[in-house]
Structure 1
Amino acid sequence: MEATTSCHGHVPTSYRGSFTQKANRACQVIRSIFPKTITEPAFERGAGFWTHPDEESKTSFLGKLTDYNSQRENWYKVNCYMAEFWCTISNAGFIYVGLKHGSPELLFAGCASAISHSIPKQWLLTVDKIGVLIVLSKLIRDYQVLGDHPWLAAPVTTAVAINLADAHLSRNYGVTWPHVVWHLSAAAIADLFLQYAENS
């Protein structure tokens, strides 16, 4: 019986080492872009009208606070009624565009996002995410707009890139402004998209 030979026997040792180094480097880059779920907040969690740091241990559906990964601002720094003030008011763009174009999807998403940033509860964040899915469903339903105006794919892609950058910067560096930029830019792009959708 012939002895089996490992596939590594056909690969030079120097090449294997080089490949391993490159693979490890690639893994490090991926981890930096998509960090693991964090257990310590990048932002402060102060006390306000809606929540208190003592509630951190609550696990009930209505009582659980927004998870660390989704926090985008130091809580209650501007007033005691809006946990994430700037992230709350920047949803005005979504609400305005929703009213302007008579879009219940965008109006719901904007209101849900504003409330979830103002009242940092996990269940409200879930409602916020549902709002995003509703807007995406409208985008899918109106896919022919992208077919008629393919250049619109560029601003849509830009919005996605801003959202990814926001997640990275906020989770790793505790930076708020990218999320505000995400809200405002996404609202502007939605306004542009809806204008063409109405004329299609």
Structure 2
Amino acid sequence: MVPVVVQPQEIKDFDVDELAIRVFLKALELLGGPRKLILYRNLTWLTSLMEAAYAVVLAEEALKTEDDIAEFLGLTRQTVRNILRADPELVMKKLSGELEERGLKAHTAGGLAKLAYEEIKKGNEALVFFSQVIREGGKILGIGWPAEVLARIKGLDFPLPSALVSERLRGLIVKERDLGELVAALGPEIRNPRELLHLLAEKLREET
């Protein structure tokens, strides 16, 4: 058999976004699904998990360096290093206590994202039912809203005008606020889904 040499390739932001969304959703599934999410009503750690999903995808698929990933995500190089050097085998042992006490640290989010990425690469990605349930749970309980946001913008090619994203999210209510209206106040353009989730999380924190 002739060996195949795989060279690093540039991939489009849309490809990165799509796989990062899949890793993010799989990570939520690994956390235990909607029943487990209900236990953690203050999901301030979801942005950290999304950042970890992007970091893992950028490192594994786009072969980006720590510096490249840090610049892309707006994180420090040390935070990116903590994500990428996380031990997936240890993450589930400490996860519940960390979420209950102080949110999700970078290395724990990284370990969870790595686990999710590995499961997807193995073909273990039965997320259709889960994504439907988590979206409904987000509407009713005010949890899991990032999954609903990602579902509504899936297929869009970023960067995008805020007005278009706002229209997609209009009617999605979190903490008695319409996310479509919040997006309209974020500026003229949204660069990528990670930025969207981060800015929305900041806005929602300001409102509490």
Superposed pair shares fold, TM > 0.5:
no
TM-score bucket of the superposed structures, by smaller chain: under 0.3
Larger relative contact order (CA 8 Å, sep ≥ 6): 2
TM-score by length of 2: 0.26
TM-score by length of 1: 0.27
